[in-house]
Amino acid sequence: MSGKVAHIRNLAFIGHSGCGKTSLAEALLFTAGATSRFGKVDDGTSVLDYEPEEVRRKITISSAFHHYTWKKHTVYIADTPGDDNFLADGRAVLHVMDACVVVVDAVDGVKVGTEKMWAAANHYGLPRLVYVNKMDRERADYHQVLEGLKNILEAKPVPLQVPIGQEAGFRGVVDLVEMKAYLGGSGKQMESGPIPDEVKDQVEEWRTEVLNFAAESDDELIEKYLEEGDLPAEDIHRGLRAGTLAGHFVPVLFGATHSNLGYPLLLDAVNLYLPSPEDRTPVKGIKPGSGEEVVVNPDPDGPLAAQVFKTVADPYAGRLSIFRVFSGTIKSDSTVFNVTKGVSERYGQLFLPEGKGQKPVPEAGPGAIAAVAKLKETVTGDTLGSESNPILLPPPERPKTIMTFAVEPKSRGDEDKVFSSILRLTEEDISLGLNRNPETKEILLSGMGPVHIETTAERMKRKFGVEVNLKLPKVPYRETIKGTTKVQGKYKRQSGGRGQYGDTWLEIEPLPRGGGFEFVDKIVGGVIPKQYIPAVEKGIVEAMQEGVLAGFPVVDVKVTLYDGSFHEVDSSDMAFKIAASMGFKKGVLQCHPVILEPIMKITVYVPEEYMGDIIGDLNGRRGRVLGMEARGKIQAITAHVPMSEVLMYAPDLISMTGGRGSFDMEFSHYEEVPPHLAEKIIAQAQAERGKE
């Protein structure tokens, strides 16, 4: 068992958008013989970026999966997005991964997407390698990359190679473990040779560092190194592996995706320094029912424990559930127990995802990324296991959405189709949110930014044939009163035969903010018979649905019914309902009605240098800063801001902080709108009602 699992690797490629993750993954697949051609993002031939939205935008939007075999090791890979709008997808993938290859652009250095995904890898405690890409580009500067790794990411980088040449003159690397130069060039295979004189000083200096780091990981190696002054390659590999797995340092390699430089060395490094499932701290699950904690060991013969971490909705093939096996072995054409839902699921062929395609396999064991189609009950986050020995695994964290658009079908009558299509896409993408606002009658789609929501609309059109318009959601304003009045509401109608008669006297007064609605019956002496009192309250409640100023719901009022009269023959529930409604509307106009707006509590997380700009901007949005708190290098600024001022806060914060800021937002309370803004809101609402 052990030998087999020891040769499994499971890793994600992470880094800022445009650093070359997908191209690097394509190069490794091609070099290892897993694909027959070198797919390229720029010309749309990538195996991993295959969705039409990805091909058109030339970015990864959704994580893609593949696998290769290199020197008796089977490696499962995930190519994750680096764009801020789609990072939540990458974070969800890291939840089930064992390691990362962090790709950094030699020209741009460590950027904000690298920082964010590095923090996610820290959260999951994932060992990682750094691959400095695009060494052949103009202005490539590996020194600034190493400084960025130290200063921005607070990592300990250990270069395992010295680059030979730079920019257009980059032609290879010196391997500091084997002490050989590997030279190549565009379209050529790398060949080993002697170390060029031009880099000998640098080689000597960095080789000493490699030896020190390798020796420090193992007491036995320290002694050997101090005695002999050097270490053989296998000992260096052992020491570097131990230090990498413990997270003490991060090995760094150099290359250039389009110059065919450095891939075999990176493939070797993945095998040598990154963990097998056995090297990771075992995942902990719980026994359903008892809640007892269970350690899940990566044993192919153990009880099955696998987690669905991604679902792909295909309008033709149905749902494809992609999962990671942590323990046990799952076989084709079988039944699996969904531990989360407590139901058995029958499925057919088991697949290994290969970008857009799939490879049928008879079984998959610990560390494998596999997939099955058409599970009826299973969704992202669910645990698959055995009914006789079920283990429930902790699901990935569901990210908080930060931006919402109202979704309107282009074709009338397609509302239900829009809702069901988005519901299918939320199964595929856990960073989407969907709800229907009963008050504004809008379908609301929430996500991680404007591009995220736009691409969701594009996928909806492509997969389900539903076209939509996206617009900013309506703000759910309210109306209330500031004054008190007593008012008569009387409804009298005579038109031959039985008439209608209802007469009410109402006292209307404001309640404290958040007080809602209170109805008090103070009728004495039967001036209005008891059976008509509920109709009076109903008439007022219905009238409150549409306020007198702009048609928004009325809140925070107390209405007391204290007098009235009735007619033996003509009075009815309907007459008293209409009378109360008329009286309420008339009375509200006498009570100094005002518009209320929703106030959001927002917490903005930014590096200290942006604090002044953020506070100034929040003040400019009519915000009130409540406090600030330092969290390491990040400042958390909490404020109350009107909802109408922060509908587009996500892209605004990105532009203010270069993508380094983030925020949480939740509804707090309602407050009165300043009079000059209330006039505009009333005018706009009246204009919209005029159109209807």
pLDDT digit string (tens) for 421-480?
Answer: 888 888 778 888 898 888 788 889 998 888 889 888 888 888 888 889 999 999 999 999
Among 148-162, 185-199, 629-643, 669-683, the range scoring the smallest mean pLDDT is: 185-199
Residue 102 predicted with pLDDT over 60:
yes
CB 379 within 8 A of CB 308: yes
pLDDT tens, position by position, 411-435: 877 778 888 888 888 877 888 889 8
- HSE on the CB side for 690, CA within 13 Å? 6
Report the relative pairing of strands 478-481 and 500-510 from DSSP bridges: unpaired
Residue 31 CA to residue 41 CA, distance in Å, equals 17
At 343, list the tokens.
């139901």
| CA atoms of 541 and 596, how far apart (whole Å) | 18
- The share of the chain scoring above pLDDT 90, in percent, equals 61
* pLDDT for the residue 568: 87
Cβ-contact 407, 446 below 8 angstroms:
no
- The pLDDT mean for the chain works out to 89
Q: Name 287's Cβ contacts closer than 8 Å, sequence gap at least 6.
A: 294, 390, 391, 392
For tokens 């009880």, the residue is 303
pLDDT at res. 402: 83
Q: Is 400 exposed, middle or buried (0-12, 13-18, 19+ CB in 10 A)?
A: middle
> Is 525 a residue whose pLDDT tops 70?
yes
Q: Name, in order, each residue with C-beta under 8 angstroms of 668's C-beta and a sequence gap of 6 or more.
A: 599, 600, 601, 640
Does residue 85 register a pLDDT over 90?
no
Beta strands in 414-556 (DSSP E): 433-437, 442-447, 468-471, 478-481, 485-493, 500-510, 517-521
The string of DSSP letters for 84-133 reads GGGHHHHHHHHTT-SEEEEEEETTTBS-HHHHHHHHHHHHTT--EEEEEE
The domain 283-385 is placed in CATH, from the list 1.20.210.10, 2.40.30.10, 1.10.10.60, 3.40.50.300, at: 2.40.30.10
Q: Which fold has domain 479-591?
A: Ribosomal Protein S5; domain 2 (3.30.230)
How many C-beta atoms surround the C-beta of residue 37 within 10 A? 10
Confidence label for 261 from pLDDT (cuts 50, 70 and 90): confident
Whole-number pLDDT of residue 312: 82
The alpha carbon of residue 7 and the mean position of all alpha carbons in its chain are separated, in whole angstroms, by: 32
In contact, 315 and 420? CB cutoff 8 Å: no
Q: Give me the mean pLDDT over the 160-188 stretch.
A: 86
CATH architecture, range 403-462: 2-Layer Sandwich (3.30)
* Structure confidence at residue 509 (pLDDT): 96
State residue 257's pLDDT score: 75
Residue 398: the pLDDT is 80
**Taking the domains of the chain in order of start, what are their residue ranges?**
2-279, 283-385, 403-462, 479-591, 597-677
Residues paired with 409 in a beta bridge: 468
Contacts (Cβ under 8 Å, ≥6 apart) of 670? 478, 513, 514, 555, 596, 597, 598, 599
Residue 2: the pLDDT is 39
Cα gap 541→577, rounded to integer Å: 10
Q: Which of these, 272, 142, 263, lies nearest to 202 by C-alpha position? A: 142
Domains 403-462 and 597-677 share a fold: yes
Position 253 pLDDT exceeds 60: yes
Residue 188, C-beta contacts closer than 8 angstroms, at least 6 positions apart: 260
Q: Which residue from 485, 491, 490, 483 is spatially nearest to 511, judged by alpha carbons? A: 483
- Half-sphere exposure in the Cβ direction for 152 (13 Å, CA): 18
Is the pLDDT at 537 greater than 70? The verdict is: yes
**Is pLDDT of 175 > 90?**
yes
- How many helices (H) and strands (E) would you count in the chain? 17, 36
Q: Rounded CA gap, 613 and 654, in Å? A: 13
What stretch of H or E contains 212?
helix 200-216
Residue 45's pLDDT is what?
66
Under 8 Å between Cβ of 170 and 163: yes
pLDDT confidence band for 229 (50 / 70 / 90): confident
Residue 660 has pLDDT above 70, yes or no: yes
Angstrom distance (rounded) from CA 633 to CA 661: 12
Q: Which CATH number fits domain 597-677: 3.50.30.30, 3.90.1300.10, 3.30.70.240, 3.40.50.360?
A: 3.30.70.240
The residue type at 361: V
Please state the φ and ψ torsions of residue 276, each to the nearest 5 degrees: -90, 170
- For residue 431, the model assigns a pLDDT of 85
Class of residue 511 by CB neighbours under 10 A (exposed 0-12, middle 13-18, buried 19+): middle
pLDDT surpassing 50 at residue 187: yes
Task: Assess contact for 181 and 164: CB atoms under 8 A.
Answer: yes
Return d(Cα 349, Cα 366) in angstroms, integer.
18
What is the residue whose two structure tokens read 């057919």?
A: 348
- 1 has a pLDDT exceeding 60: no
Which residues have C-beta within 8 Å of that of residue 372, sequence separation ≥ 6? 320, 321, 323, 336, 347, 348, 349, 350, 351
Share of the chain above pLDDT 70, in %: 94
Helical ranges in 377-414 per DSSP H: none
Quick check: 316 pLDDT over 50?
Answer: yes
CATH class of 2-279: alpha beta
